[in-house]
Structure 1
Amino acid sequence: MPNTQTPYGPVDTEALRCLQDSFDTREILRIVDLVDTLRTRLCEPEGIRDDLLQLHGMAHTVLNGASLVLRATNPTLVEQAETIVEELEDLIRVLQHAVHVLHPLELLRPSGDT
């Protein structure tokens, strides 16, 4: 199958026709919004990073007998771990969705490229 030259390089002509009829480029913008949400949740104060540091302090005290570095308040060690695991699993689902949405663009690989 022939290739079509675009401003961003050659693409497979048949895949281009198919995606022009079926791919909603707004999905990429939705992924940008998701990434912004993920970045905020991961990095901002009281984000997952801080939650993990708190969990480390709790686990280090309980498992390694280290001095108490955090106040012994809610959440418990187990609750903190469960919350973080759930959040990470949600992030994985979001990222898997993003991969699923973007995967069809790989079909544009020009014929003859491997």
Structure 2
Amino acid sequence: MPNTQTPYGPVDTDALRCLQDSFDTREILRIVDRIDAMRTRFCDPAGIRDDLLQLHGMAHTVVNGARLVSGATNPALVEQAEAVVEELDDVIRLLQRAVQALRPLETLRPTGDA
């Protein structure tokens, strides 16, 4: 199986032909959009980072017996943990879908490369 030289290095010719017929490069841009939305959710002032810090404070008080640093607020500890876990599960699913969408590009590895 021959390789094809491209501006970005050699690729497997048969895999290239297959992907030219089936791979939608726009999916990469859709992944970028999803990552941007995720980044916003992680970094916003009311984002996952702050949710985790709030959860840490709550858990530290309840589990370790630390003194209450701020007043008890809604949601309850369990509700906060469930919300964070659910959101992180969503992130994991999104990243798994991104990996699956990009995996076909790995088939372009030129023959003869380890």
TM-score above 0.5, yes or no: yes
TM range (shorter): over 0.9
User: Which segments of 5 or more consecutive residues in structure 2 lack a partner in the other structure?
Assistant: none
- Residues 12-34 of structure 1 show CA distances to partners (whole Å, capped at 9, x for unaligned) of 00000000000000000000001
More deviation, 15-24/42-51: 42-51
Q: 1: distance between equivalents of 2:83 and 2:70? A: 18
| Cross-structure match for 1:33 | 33
Equivalent residue letter for 2:88: L
| Cross-structure match for 1:5 | 5
Q: Which of structure 1's runs of 4+ aligned residues deviate more than 3 A?
A: none
- Residues 44-103 of structure 1 show CA distances to partners (whole Å, capped at 9, x for unaligned) of 211101000000000001111111112211100000000000000000000000000000
Q: TM-score, normalised by structure 2?
A: 0.98
Q: 2: distance between equivalents of 1:71 and 1:7? A: 60
Over the aligned positions, Cα root-mean-square deviation in angstroms equals 0.6
TM alignment of 1:31-110, pairs within 5 A: 31-110=31-110
Equivalent residue letter for 1:35: I
| Percent pairwise identity | 78
Q: 2: distance between equivalents of 1:32 and 1:71? A: 39
User: Which segments of 5 or more consecutive residues in structure 1 lack a partner in the other structure?
Assistant: none
Kindly tell me the number of residue pairs found equivalent between the two proteins: 114
